[in-house]
Structure 1
Amino acid sequence: MAFAIRLVWSADRRSLIQVLSIQVGMAAGLMGVLLLMRSLLGDVLAAGSRSTTLGLAQVGPTMIALVALGSVSGILRIVSSARQRVLAVKVDQHIISTVLRAAAQAELSEFENPHFHNRLQRAVFASRSQPVTVITAMLAAAQAALTIAAVSTAFVMMVWWLLPLAALGALPIFRSARQERQASYDLNHQWAEQRRIRQYLERLLTGRDEAKELRGLGLGDLLRARWATEYSKEIDDMIAMHRRNTRRRILARLSSDAAMIAIMGAMVALAASKLVSVPTAVAALAGLWLLSNRVQMVGGILNGVGESILYLDDLRSFAESPAPGPYPLAAGPFTVLRVAQIKFAYPGSARPVLKNVSITLRSGEITALVGVNGSGKTTLAKILGGLYQPDSGSLWHDNTTVSDLRTLRAGTAMVFQDFVQYRLSAAENIAFGSPGNPVDMDRIVAAAHQAGAHDFIANLPRGYDTLLSSEFTGGSDLSLGQWQRLALARAFYRDAPFVILDEPNASLDPQAEAALLASIRDLFSGRTVLLISHRFSSVRGADKIYVLDDGQVIEEGTHQSLMAADETYARLFRLQSEAYQEVA
């Protein structure tokens, strides 16, 4: 509850104070109505006992006061409703922003952990479905609680001993509400991974990039049937839970109503015995009826808000992870980067990807990593780029142990084979290379020229402002090779001293590939380059080549020395080169 209140307070404290003030005023008005009604009934009964006609002068002020209170209450309700809608929207924005910030700050290794994804899914569920529920329920509960307090105050002034009896009658409602919200939360908690599977199937069935393969293979009906099966499991569990909850709620309602009827009957008997005056009895019965309705309402509200608060606890545990602090905007100097005897395994995997690997990268040099698929090349590059912390061994930058991976990332430009295609403008795709710094259009154009992307960007409908997807109005699609040039332009724009190129020519045509490889040393002059490729012809000009196999460095040297050694590198190089040689 405290976390929910802090969220609302942080989102829009002014609206919250206004709404609560209005509700206090409405509750005070309700108490006034009960007391005025008791006074009016007293006047009516007194006039009846004297066999006189009740004049306007006697009841007029009371009636006017009742109408005035009703009018003010209606106006306050309208104003409160408007402020609550504004408050709900602001809280929705604040909560979703909190989840997105926590997800963006999580280290890459977290995304390899299924438990993290389950926590993230529950936090997203809480952020997407609960804010409006929490705000509406909390404010309704506050209003109902103030109403109960007002009616209880009136009881204290009229028949104080009735209040504890009314409270006993409410206990079954609150007990049932607590059991129901816990059952619902427990069920949703166990659905986290199942929901992720279902949402993944939804993305497959609705995604533009997946559409061609699904239709080519005829997978639509199969995946939809799998989706329906997963959803049916969730529905069956929900039906069973609601059946149990319905039985609890019916029994609780009957118990509470029976208690209220008994109390009302006792009040009527006391009035008949003249132990309680008739005006007091009538006003107390009206208040008791109102109190019973509000208790039922509070039970339902607490059921909703209580369940939502349980979900928000998932949000709190995810969002309140220690913040790593501001991201470094400037890259530090770069002289040498090395790893010594490092080992690394992905979370949840017993098999290490890297085993006792040691390599050194020096300023201004091009270092290449080669090896068969699965040898650990990309994983090693991610460690050198500051995306993963090795499980053991040492990671040194300029003879200093790296303690904050973000400082290493700030000085690194990474172009991975599975680069992201941001379906935003071409200019944004390039400027994302240096987030947090002012966008420099001249540098964007220069980076595009360096990557060979300027010509096709200039021919887009709106040039650098064109959205790069035909899913959007006025947008245009790019080929995979053009996307790869944009990824390279992003690296140039970052202007980092250390550059990682993971298969940078994978999507380029032979002519563009040859031009890029021939110019890498000139394009990245003065920078340290780590080049990863399975094409051995791409790395011939590297200053140092490391050959990886099964997570270990098995050879190192220049192209000439490795060919002279005539081991794995030489064998693989000849296998690839033979495919391009003519057979007599």
Structure 2
Amino acid sequence: MTAASFTAGLRSALRQRFRTLALLPRLLHSFWQTSPALSAAIIVLRLLRAAQPPLVLFIGKLIVDEIILQTASPAPGPTLADWVESGRLSAVAGWLLLEFLLVATANALARIGAFVERVLTERHDNALGVALIQQVASLDLRDIEASSAQDRLQRARTQRFMGNQLLTSLLSQAQDFVSLILFVIGLLSYAPLLIVLLLLALLPTLAGEAHFNAKGYGLNVSVTPERRQMDYIQIVGSVAESAKEMKLFGLGAYLAGRFAELADKVHRGNRDLAARRTLWGSLFGAIASLAYYAAYAVIAWRALKGELGIGDLTFLAGSLLRLNGLFERLILGLTQITSQTQYLDDFFSFMDLRSTMVAPSNPRPFPVPMRQGIVFDKVGFRYPGKGAWALRDLSFSIPVGETLALVGENGAGKTTIVKLLTRLYEPDEGRILVDGIDIRDIDIAELQHQVGAIFQDFVRYHMTAAENIGIGRVGCLSDRPRVIEAAQKSLAHPLIETLPEGYEQMLGRVFARGLDLSGGEWQKIAIARAYFRDAAILILDEPTAALDARAEAEIFERFRNLSEAKTALLISHRFATVRMADRILVLENGAILESGSHEELIALHGRYAELFALQAAGFQ
């Protein structure tokens, strides 16, 4: 490390430190909001503990002074009884009793303080966990799906625990600072210049710690992608869902090797930084130790000259030792706190992200009931970071009560249409209308409240069967008759009745009593969730992919009957399902290639007829 690079690194590190230190009031405020009573109790307990070390050391000086005073006079007798009877032990005994009470009280205060801090930090951690879930739910899908956003989310998820560590560090720093002030007050009358010497000698340690903490944070940020990959590999290699392929394909050794390779890369960076930190830290520590022993030598010389008594020497030597340790702990603690605030910045910067979708200043209500339907008017959309248009100049309508099917090869834009209609994404061009109202003029929550969607990659919630269905509209989660009705519509009710605990059966294998389902069974549960929502717009994206042909035909027939008063959008690769829709759009490269009913498209002898013939040939 050259002097120029060290100086430049120090300046950069200090600028970053002071910027992130501004987050401390926000953190402390969040703790205070969690529990003002517990926060106040912690402050009082820490102040009482801070006063204990200087008082104990000063009482020790008084005990030594009293012993020397008593030994300077003839003994009242050879036995302890003679000393007690003379009353000359009263002062020593009193000081010893007071010191004992201080030490015992400090021990009790430390245990009580640890308990109170543990309760507060646990409650605070739970509150941040809730806030993090709410924050993710409030962001745009494009923000959540981006790789850079996933890196930030990973760091935020990890660093939310940093607040608890930081609180402990701050409290320890504050306690040490109060103790230091009390020691300094006691030493000012003896050797004020020695205090300055100790402080100056620790400045190199401060500079070194600031530099290496900045390097450590930068290293942590740079390896976030590798750590995410390591987490992913661990999950894939350890969950039941991937166990079959793990064994069948013999992936254990391969994944273990990938993990070891990534871990080694992260380890090498940490090891090299730790080695440099150790080398420079040892040098700076030697400078601090030299200053301490220089101060010790000055005090010893003054005692030899008779300027200080034995009690004074005891107090000063102990105070210098404690003061040196306090100075070092405060300086190192300060650099650690400023380093930790950088990690805290990861959490708060993620929590400060806001949706880029502009909420309407005067939102219009969603039209209930819908009378006209949905219109896509020259809609265009590009995924972030991609130059090609996923959709361009797309126009079509879905009248109320119509079931529209979307057909096309992968990447044609089918699921993108669904995401735009539900405002998971925002169009780059054009507009989407519901009964003539631009959906951007409708409150997002109200719009999505009127959409019931089941995607091909639907979530398998490790909850009870009733909860899996009821979360389709969480406000009605406890409405069991409605849950059962939705299950009956999706053909999930007969399945649930066969489960050992019925609707209270825990699904999935993550938790105790959990029972896993087949793909088709899970799909029936997910379709019931869409029915339970009872929304004006129903979207089914590959809704029957895991079902057999008979179950698929029955479910879709029910779907047609149940959605007569609704507007429905259907995406499927199965033409036996698609042909039952009122109208079909054939998409290619984000544009409409063909439009019409099944019979009309077959008569057209175009792409739909070609795809239908190819699929039909597979069953001959």
Instruction: State TM-score, norm by structure 1.
Output: 0.92
* Among candidates 64, 86, 97, match of residue 130 of structure 2: 97
* Among candidates 18, 24, 29, match of residue 47 of structure 2: 24
Q: Quick one: distance in 2 between partners of 1:191 and 1:6?
A: 31
Q: Could you say which residue in structure 1 is the equivalent of 2:300?
A: 268
Q: Could you say which residue in structure 2 is the equivalent of 1:34?
A: 57
Q: Could you say which residue in structure 2 is the equivalent of 1:394?
A: 431
Tell me the CA shift for residue 573 of structure 1: 2.6
Match runs of 1:554-565 below 5 Å: 554-565=593-604
The aligned amino acid for 1:108 is: L
Are the counterparts in 2 of residues 34 and 154 from structure 1 also a CA contact under 8 Å?
Answer: no
Are the counterparts in 1 of residues 47 and 178 from structure 2 also a CA contact under 8 Å?
Answer: yes
The aligned amino acid for 1:496 is: A
* Among candidates 70, 74, 90, match of residue 103 of structure 2: 70
Find out whether 1:5 has 2:31 as its counterpart.
Answer: no
Structure 1 residue matching 2:507: 3-state secondary structure: coil
Q: Could you say which residue in structure 2 is the equivalent of 1:146?
A: 178
Q: Deviations over 1:93-113 (max 9, x none)?
A: 233333222222222111331
Q: Quick one: distance in 1 between partners of 2:578 and 2:133?
A: 40
Q: Quick one: distance in 1 between partners of 2:510 and 2:99?
A: 60
The aligned amino acid for 1:543 is: D
Tell me the CA shift for residue 420 of structure 1: 1.1
Tell me the CA shift for residue 526 of structure 1: 0.7
The aligned amino acid for 1:430 is: I
Q: Quick one: distance in 1 between partners of 2:367 and 2:95?
A: 79
Are the counterparts in 1 of residues 159 and 346 from structure 2 also a CA contact under 8 Å?
Answer: yes
Match runs of 1:288-327 below 5 Å: 288-322=320-354
Q: Which stretch shows the higher mean deviation, 63-72 or 292-301?
A: 292-301
Change (3 A) 1:472 1:82: closer
* Among candidates 264, 269, 275, match of residue 237 of structure 1: 269
The aligned amino acid for 1:90 is: R
Tell me the CA shift for residue 19 of structure 1: 2.0
Are the counterparts in 2 of residues 562 and 569 from structure 1 also a CA contact under 8 Å?
Answer: yes
The aligned amino acid for 1:75 is: A
Structure 2 residue matching 1:434: 3-state secondary structure: helix
Find out whether 1:286 has 2:318 as its counterpart.
Answer: yes
Find out whether 1:80 has 2:103 as its counterpart.
Answer: no
Structure 1 residue matching 2:392: 3-state secondary structure: strand
Change (3 A) 1:269 1:11: same
Structure 2 residue matching 1:419: 3-state secondary structure: coil
The aligned amino acid for 1:80 is: G
Q: Deviations over 1:432-469 (max 9, x none)?
A: 10023452000000000111110110110000010112
Q: Which stretch shows the higher mean deviation, 432-441 or 556-565?
A: 556-565
Q: Quick one: distance in 2 between partners of 1:133 and 1:517?
A: 55
Q: Which stretch shows the higher mean deviation, 429-438 or 250-259?
A: 429-438
Q: Quick one: distance in 1 between partners of 2:448 and 2:293?
A: 71
Structure 2 residue matching 1:93: 3-state secondary structure: helix
Q: Quick one: distance in 1 between partners of 2:236 and 2:125?
A: 28
* Among candidates 185, 188, 193, match of residue 217 of structure 2: 185
For structure 1, the 5+ residue unaligned runs are none
Match runs of 1:121-270 below 5 Å: 121-128=154-161, 130-156=162-188, 158-270=190-302
Q: Percent identity?
A: 30
Tell me the CA shift for residue 24 of structure 1: 0.8
Find out whether 1:407 has 2:446 as its counterpart.
Answer: yes
Q: Quick one: distance in 1 between partners of 2:379 and 2:494?
A: 44
Are the counterparts in 2 of residues 341 and 394 from structure 1 also a CA contact under 8 Å?
Answer: yes
Q: Could you say which residue in structure 1 is the equivalent of 2:390?
A: 353
Are the counterparts in 2 of residues 331 and 496 from structure 1 also a CA contact under 8 Å?
Answer: no
The aligned amino acid for 2:563 is: F
Find out whether 1:366 has 2:399 as its counterpart.
Answer: no
Q: Which stretch shows the higher mean deviation, 497-506 or 24-33?
A: 24-33
Q: Quick one: distance in 2 between partners of 1:171 and 1:528?
A: 71
Tell me the CA shift for residue 369 of structure 1: 0.9
The aligned amino acid for 2:107 is: G
Q: Quick one: distance in 2 between partners of 1:480 and 1:58?
A: 84
Instruction: State TM-score, norm by structure 2.
Output: 0.87
Q: Could you say which residue in structure 2 is the equivalent of 1:566?
A: 605
Are the counterparts in 1 of residues 139 and 354 from structure 2 also a CA contact under 8 Å?
Answer: no
Q: Which stretch shows the higher mean deviation, 151-160 or 485-494?
A: 151-160
Q: Quick one: distance in 1 between partners of 2:119 and 2:129?
A: 16
Are the counterparts in 2 of residues 126 and 314 from structure 1 also a CA contact under 8 Å?
Answer: yes
Q: Quick one: distance in 1 between partners of 2:197 and 2:456?
A: 72
Q: Quick one: distance in 1 between partners of 2:297 and 2:227?
A: 51
Q: Deviations over 1:152-186 (max 9, x none)?
A: 22223554444323322332332233223222211
Q: Quick one: distance in 1 between partners of 2:310 and 2:202?
A: 25
Q: How many residues were matched structurally?
A: 578
Are the counterparts in 2 of residues 95 and 131 from structure 1 also a CA contact under 8 Å?
Answer: no
Tell me the CA shift for residue 229 of structure 1: 0.5
Q: Quick one: distance in 2 between partners of 1:158 and 1:474?
A: 71
For structure 2, the 5+ residue unaligned runs are 1-23, 77-82
Q: Quick one: distance in 2 between partners of 1:91 and 1:67?
A: 36
Are the counterparts in 1 of residues 470 and 477 from structure 2 also a CA contact under 8 Å?
Answer: no
The aligned amino acid for 2:39 is: L
Structure 2 residue matching 1:153: 3-state secondary structure: helix
Are the counterparts in 2 of residues 22 and 76 from structure 1 also a CA contact under 8 Å?
Answer: yes
Q: Could you say which residue in structure 2 is the equivalent of 1:577?
A: 616
Are the counterparts in 1 of residues 159 and 347 from structure 2 also a CA contact under 8 Å?
Answer: yes
Tell me the CA shift for residue 564 of structure 1: 3.4
Are the counterparts in 2 of residues 339 and 394 from structure 1 also a CA contact under 8 Å?
Answer: yes
Tell me the CA shift for residue 52 of structure 1: 7.0
The aligned amino acid for 1:28 is: A
Structure 2 residue matching 1:531: 3-state secondary structure: strand
